[in-house]
Amino acid sequence: MKSKKIAIVGASGYSGEELVRLLLHHPFAELTMVTSRQNVGQTLAQIFPKFASHPKSRALRFVEPNAEVLASAADVIFLALPHGVAAEFAVPLLQAGRTVIDLSADFRLKSAATYQDFYNHEHPAPDLLKKSVYGLPEVYREEIKAATLIASPGCYPTSILLPVIPLLRAGLIRPDGIIADSMSGVSGAGRKAEVDYLFCECNESVRAYGLPKHRHLSEIEEQLSLAAQTPVTIQFTPHLIPVNRGILTTLYLTPTEPFADLVGASRVAEKIAAAYQAAYASEPFVRLLEGKALPDTKNVTGTNVLEIAWRLDPRTGRLIVLSAEDNIVKGASGQAVQSLNLLCGWPETTGLL
Amino acid sequence: MKSKKIAIVGASGYSGEELVRLLLHHPFAELTMVTSRQNVGQTLAQIFPKFASHPKSRALRFVEPNAEVLASAADVIFLALPHGVAAEFAVPLLQAGRTVIDLSADFRLKSAATYQDFYNHEHPAPDLLKKSVYGLPEVYREEIKAATLIASPGCYPTSILLPVIPLLRAGLIRPDGIIADSMSGVSGAGRKAEVDYLFCECNESVRAYGLPKHRHLSEIEEQLSLAAQTPVTIQFTPHLIPVNRGILTTLYLTPTEPFADLVGASRVAEKIAAAYQAAYASEPFVRLLEGKALPDTKNVTGTNVLEIAWRLDPRTGRLIVLSAEDNIVKGASGQAVQSLNLLCGWPETTGLL
Amino acid sequence: MKSKKIAIVGASGYSGEELVRLLLHHPFAELTMVTSRQNVGQTLAQIFPKFASHPKSRALRFVEPNAEVLASAADVIFLALPHGVAAEFAVPLLQAGRTVIDLSADFRLKSAATYQDFYNHEHPAPDLLKKSVYGLPEVYREEIKAATLIASPGCYPTSILLPVIPLLRAGLIRPDGIIADSMSGVSGAGRKAEVDYLFCECNESVRAYGLPKHRHLSEIEEQLSLAAQTPVTIQFTPHLIPVNRGILTTLYLTPTEPFADLVGASRVAEKIAAAYQAAYASEPFVRLLEGKALPDTKNVTGTNVLEIAWRLDPRTGRLIVLSAEDNIVKGASGQAVQSLNLLCGWPETTGLL
Amino acid sequence: MKSKKIAIVGASGYSGEELVRLLLHHPFAELTMVTSRQNVGQTLAQIFPKFASHPKSRALRFVEPNAEVLASAADVIFLALPHGVAAEFAVPLLQAGRTVIDLSADFRLKSAATYQDFYNHEHPAPDLLKKSVYGLPEVYREEIKAATLIASPGCYPTSILLPVIPLLRAGLIRPDGIIADSMSGVSGAGRKAEVDYLFCECNESVRAYGLPKHRHLSEIEEQLSLAAQTPVTIQFTPHLIPVNRGILTTLYLTPTEPFADLVGASRVAEKIAAAYQAAYASEPFVRLLEGKALPDTKNVTGTNVLEIAWRLDPRTGRLIVLSAEDNIVKGASGQAVQSLNLLCGWPETTGLL
């Protein structure tokens, strides 16, 4: 395989750190530059002692982020920056002919108006929205291979879209009335010095937040609408729980074919099982659980795998689907590397198993 | 106030231990007997070092549970036993003229058939179901005062019933389509030596369980049906999260009066606020949150308080209600002591503030 | 009992919050003023929802700290401020004839030079060092009763001094070679927005810090020297562990009477047991563990109790003493209220059981 | 490289599970058999869903442990069994000409009498003690290469021996008076259904245990005595803290060359630094920290690395050394695989980076 030069902009947050980990061990990715305003001049090993055993971590020093310098240092640039800021780098890097994989929300939506509605500022580069590809490989594999601007999905959206899209596409669930109830580890809040995320404020605590209009709704609903070919509005409640890593999402869905007993449920179950098999049986990073097993974040932490299980409830006529992922891996940096593999023509699982 | 002699049967589990804590500090309750098969002969101080500073903890020794002996030792007997076993003690204690506060599920249902459906064995004393009072003081205060058999509610039911009943009674929400999504601390599983509840199996883990027909559904639906005066079937998903104490419940409800914009929402909001004020403004153990505050288990841990907040979502037309409680206090032992206070004629908050 | 008006300066940190909790429930303390620069104008209930059930929490609003206003509002003022800042308030409040209980390090040392050596700035009010009383009630009970300036001890010092002082005073251990190895919960770092204390930086982590010259050494060594009547230098290593509350200290001591077998150990053991009994048998907040029991922070969390257990090791000739306390209660605010009770002439355990 | 057939006996505990993880991903190890009495007939994927993405996990089923069958299925057999039981398998497997890597304590000591003293039963196969090699590659690399019976070290011993041995060998510290204070995650207690290790008993808790004569002292002292060429007796206190993984050990040592000021300390420091450099500069799995960095278990969790840092204290004349490791990787299964690599002639870091 031909190797590529890779840079990470914003490499000191949790997603940036995970990108560093994945790329240091990636056989074809040559990490050539890492940026971080607060750590300029320090080596990777100094900031992240856990990588210190890797020789490159002692050689590579954080630099100021600069688009021109980045364009000369790398073929593919990961942006692990806040929304709004990411676009400032994406524009010149794309103009310089580089490939950009953006982990922020800046290029996830097709509609600049929706962006403004949810992010409360004008879109910084609306022309690029047509160009960008939503980096969910299980859904947009071919588009990703050809893309130069990847908008890597959010953590909550990944945990909701992968379980729901196959059912919507197969017409097995109604596009209205969808409820997604999610629990996330604290790394989702980023490595920010805020009192709310101090150990003592999160430990022995559970709380909902961002009610009822969390920003991730924008990309979730846009993608579900595309899958359903009709506008979809969902209910989404995120909760903060005291774990470092992991998102568990519980989805409440209504099958299009009603059922009120075990016989009816069994008929519907066959179709759901078939839809999931068709969608994911050969996907390396989606694990369909069998038997009595239910998703548990501890079984996916540190991996790029999303687990799915589901149950039909004859008492209520509903379909309950559960998913578990590592919010920083499949929900962010691992999925971004999965896209990198695709667009570089490397085996999709390289560096992710 | 006139004091009463109190005994606790099954005082070595988490609920039993919390009863011990509350009753040792209760000014009118005289703890005269504690039973525990595995700790016979040991003092309270030996088994629970944290109570060792209390003089009574060094004097009181665990004994074998025996109904006759209990009846002679106490006026009121708390049963902190598994379902099925509790009834074995309740029957002779009631016959001996004693008052029983049962923390198990044995007397929570009015229907022996529903009990058998959910607990998989015949009800051990169906005649007592007529006699028992569901020990939710905010709903059955007067009945509790006159009762001799209290069936103290389950932890999940408390977190669901208190937020939902006032809305159903006021006709503000539809009785169908209710979804309750709950997260519980590990103490809810009891002090049982099972691999599933080891530290390393629960820490850095989130998982659903008991899907889709958890036993607590039986009492939740019976009580909601009484409030709605029509049969209610709900969707309920419990999750296990790595905290010792606390339940957070997120409820998805549909207002009977539809709304699709902020004006409509504001009209509905007034009625909901009024219903909650009417129900709980003067309740000492229900806290209606204001402004941007949302329930957080860390704000109720160790207390008998249940927090409630709610949001209307104009995008979906739904009402989201959130509650937080300490599963072992308001969800079990604290609520049981609240009933004790009522039936003994003591101020309801005695020993609970 | 005659009540007193009490104010808390710096009531928004962890120690300040715990003082609020203790004083809201204290039968003779009338909390009249709480200050916090960042929360001016907010009620206690708004900042600390968990106190919202207490009527006073809805009435009392945070104000700017101002010595003159504080002097007019309260008889006794608690200072829960950083070192250096505390003295700025203590001086005028004492001049105005008020009693000050300071939880900072400003008045714990007798030597201004030692203060400067350990805190890296000149002592702000050296004249007051003669006047201040070290607020460790088990050691300075009579002095506290008569004091107007209490320097309430640090959390680590409390966990070390209470186990060691009786042994030094009785001449049972050598004053040299003492090692104190401590583990503290994260609340010890305060409610400060720093990346190092974020949930994800502390959870699944254990680390030492402040090596080898932690600031608390200054007061520990001054107090041990007084007890031993000879200069004492100790080794002290604090560690940060992922719990909210609690300090466990393991002390390595050398008995003055050597022993190398079980017979010798048994002779020494009798004297140690006698010294601890003499010192603490009637102390309400020191619990001497018996039998196989060892201190566990979970048995003291939320209480003002310090647990002590010890073992002689015939293999090494050493005495191992272990202590456990809640760093915010016995290690800070609870102990400060214990001093308040003493100087107000109230029963020492008031509001602390 | 030539691959080898590998079996794991006792693959359902935490060490066994980690061996499975490491060997599934090892390029030259062919995992042919896993045993577990309670999981007979189940696939690896069913018992450990997190490995389900690996094709072999769906093919390999747990079998009853049987020495004859194991000998025919594998070249090298890992024993992840309790002490006493391990020897029952080691004896016939060695007789059948197989290589055994034992993770229990059965073959770690040279003295059967010491074994009996610490493990309270007669040694089950004392003849093998001469044959076995202590599997600490940084100390016994050449012996491991030639061994057929490896006694893989305990978790605490590894965290103590690697920091102390180079200093003893270089004569830089005194062999008497050594103190090791360790904190371990709960996985060290094994996947055993015991109340003491339930989530609620460990979370928000810190406690010492096994005082003062923990079993691991036997192998620690035997190895230190060999390094010092004189009998060494140490003080060792293990503590249980609420993390899944990781041991942090703080060592209190006395340099042979006294120092009482910064000049003296600097002279001693040079020698210590040189000794550590000589011992570990080229070791792939020992990381000597520089500057202000101190060991933190979160930087080694999931890796085979042991971190070391040290400080001289001119106030006390002592040397403080700190180490951090993952108790299940470098402290157990990772180190055992490191030995496997050595004895199979594979690069030592294979499958461990």
pLDDT per residue over A7-25, tens digit each?
999 999 999 999 999 999 9
Fill in the DSSP letter of residue C153.
P
Banded pLDDT at A1 (limits 50, 70, 90):
confident
For tokens 């992991």, the residue is A246
For residue B89, count other CB atoms closer than 10 A to its CB. 24
Closest partner residue to A305 (CB to CB) among D53, D285, D302 is D53
Q: According to the model, what pLDDT value does residue C267 have?
A: 96
Minimal C-alpha gap between B50 and chain C (Å): 4
Structure confidence by residue, pLDDT tens digits, D282-299 = 999 999 999 999 999 999
pTM of the prediction? 0.97
Rounded CA-CA distance C218/A212 in Å is 52
Best of A22, A43, A50 to mutate (most D CBs within 10 Å, chain D): A50
Structure confidence by residue, pLDDT tens digits, A47-74 = 999 999 899 999 999 999 999 999 999 9
Q: According to the model, what pLDDT value does residue C262 have?
A: 87
ipTM of model over 0.90: yes
Rounded CA-CA distance C139/C7 in Å is 26
Q: According to the model, what pLDDT value does residue D147 have?
A: 98
What distances in angstroms separate CA C206 from CA A245, C201, C209, D313, one per listed residue? 18, 10, 10, 22
Note whether C302 contacts B: Cβ–Cβ < 8 A.
Answer: yes
For tokens 């560096």, the residue is A351
Q: According to the model, what pLDDT value does residue A260 have?
A: 84
Note whether D209 contacts C: Cβ–Cβ < 8 A.
Answer: yes
What distances in angstroms separate CA D181 from CA A73, C250, D197, D270, D321, one per listed residue? 48, 8, 21, 25, 11
Mean pLDDT of chain D: 97
Q: Note whether C284 contacts B50, CB cutoff 8 Å.
A: no
- D-chain residues within 8 Å CB-CB of C296? 205-207
Q: Which residues contact D239 (CB under 8 A, 6 or more apart)?
A: C183, C248, C250, D181, D182, D183, D184, D206, D207, D208, D209
For tokens 């074919």, the residue is A257
For tokens 């408390």, the residue is B158
- C-chain residues within 8 Å CB-CB of B43? none
Structure confidence by residue, pLDDT tens digits, D307-335 = 999 999 999 999 999 999 999 999 999 99
Note whether D291 contacts A: Cβ–Cβ < 8 A.
Answer: yes
Instruction: Look at residue A32 and tell me whether its pLDDT is greater than 90.
Output: yes
For chain C, positions 1-40, list CB contacts with chain B under 8 A: 25
Closest CA to C319 of C238, C264, C242: C264
Instruction: Look at residue A165 and tell me whether its pLDDT is greater than 90.
Output: yes
Banded pLDDT at D261 (limits 50, 70, 90):
confident
Rounded CA-CA distance A207/B248 in Å is 7
Rounded CA-CA distance C245/C300 in Å is 9
Q: According to the model, what pLDDT value does residue D300 have?
A: 98
Identify the closest residue of chain D to A48 by CA–CA distance. Answer: D299
Q: Span A254-272, mean pLDDT?
A: 94
Q: Note whether D294 contacts C181, CB cutoff 8 Å.
A: no
Identify the closest residue of chain A to D308 by CA–CA distance. Answer: A49
Rounded CA-CA distance A52/A65 in Å is 23
Minimal C-alpha gap between D42 and chain C (Å): 31
Closest partner residue to D287 (CB to CB) among A46, A52, A353 is A52
Q: Span A197-201, mean pLDDT?
A: 98
Q: According to the model, what pLDDT value does residue B260 have?
A: 84
Closest CA to C209 of D295, D249, A49, D273: D295
Instruction: State the burial class of residue D170 (Cβ atoms within 10 Å of its Cβ: 0-12, 13-18, 19+).
Output: middle
Instruction: Look at residue B311 and tell me whether its pLDDT is greater than 90.
Output: yes
Q: According to the model, what pLDDT value does residue A222 have?
A: 97
Closest partner residue to D49 (CB to CB) among A49, A299, A353 is A299
Q: Where are the alpha helices (DSSP H) in B188-240?
A: 199-202, 216-228
Q: Span B145-174, mean pLDDT?
A: 98
Q: Which residues contact B55 (CB under 8 A, 6 or more apart)?
A: none
Best of A186, A200, A204, A205 to mutate (most C CBs within 10 Å, chain C): A200
Note whether C224 contacts D: Cβ–Cβ < 8 A.
Answer: no
For tokens 């993952």, the residue is D326
Rounded CA-CA distance B317/D189 in Å is 51
Q: According to the model, what pLDDT value does residue A119 have?
A: 95
- A-chain residues within 8 Å CB-CB of B203? 243
- B-chain residues within 8 Å CB-CB of C52? 287
Residue D345 region by backbone torsions, left for phi larger than 0, else alpha for psi between -120 and 50, else beta: left
- D-chain residues within 8 Å CB-CB of C245? 204
Structure confidence by residue, pLDDT tens digits, A226-261 = 999 999 999 999 999 999 999 999 999 999 999 988
∠D85-D86-D87 over CA atoms, to 5°? 95
Q: Note whether A239 contacts B248, CB cutoff 8 Å.
A: yes
D200 is catalytic: no
Structure confidence by residue, pLDDT tens digits, B277-304 = 999 999 999 999 999 999 999 999 999 9
Q: Which residues contact A141 (CB under 8 A, 6 or more apart)?
A: A342
List the catalytic residues of A.
155
What distances in angstroms separate CA D183 from CA A150, B201, D331, one per listed residue? 45, 19, 13
Structure confidence by residue, pLDDT tens digits, D167-180 = 999 999 999 999 99
Rounded CA-CA distance C234/D252 in Å is 12
Q: According to the model, what pLDDT value does residue D60 have?
A: 97
Closest partner residue to D293 (CB to CB) among A25, A49, A296 is A49
For tokens 């962010």, the residue is A332
Spell out the long-range contacts of A67-73 with Cβ–Cβ below 8 A and sequence spacing 24 or more: A67/A92, A67/A93, A67/A96, A68/A92, A68/A96, A69/A33, A70/A7, A70/A9, A70/A33, A70/A35, A70/A98, A71/A96, A71/A97, A71/A98, A73/A5, A73/A7, A73/A32, A73/A33
Residue pair C223/C157 in contact by the 8 Å Cβ criterion:
yes
Q: According to the model, what pLDDT value does residue A262 have?
A: 87
Q: According to the model, what pLDDT value does residue C13 have?
A: 97
Q: Note whether C49 contacts B307, CB cutoff 8 Å.
A: yes
Rounded CA-CA distance D21/D35 in Å is 15
Q: According to the model, what pLDDT value does residue C261 have?
A: 86
Q: According to the model, what pLDDT value does residue A261 have?
A: 86
Q: Note whether C353 contacts B53, CB cutoff 8 Å.
A: yes
Where are the extended beta strands (E) located within chain B?
Answer: 4-9, 29-35, 62-63, 76-79, 99-102, 133-134, 149-151, 179-184, 207-208, 235-240, 247-253, 286-288, 306-313, 318-325
Best of D199, D297, D328 to mutate (most B CBs within 10 Å, chain B): D199
- A-chain residues within 8 Å CB-CB of D353? 25, 53
Instruction: Look at residue D262 and tell me whether its pLDDT is greater than 90.
Output: no
What distances in angstroms separate CA A318 from CA A321, B230, C192, C196, one per listed residue? 10, 20, 46, 45
Instruction: Look at residue B68 and tell me whether its pLDDT is greater than 90.
Output: yes
Neighbours of chain A (3+ CB pairs under 8 A): B, C, D
Identify the closest residue of chain B to A298 by CA–CA distance. Answer: B205
Q: According to the model, what pLDDT value does residue B103 have?
A: 98
Q: According to the model, what pLDDT value does residue B261 have?
A: 86
Rounded CA-CA distance A184/B206 in Å is 9
Residues of chain C where predicted confidence (pLDDT) is lower than 50: none
Q: Where are the alpha helices (DSSP H) in A81-154?
A: 85-95, 112-119, 137-145
Closest partner residue to C305 (CB to CB) among B53, B204, B287 is B53
Residue pair A206/A248 in contact by the 8 Å Cβ criterion:
no
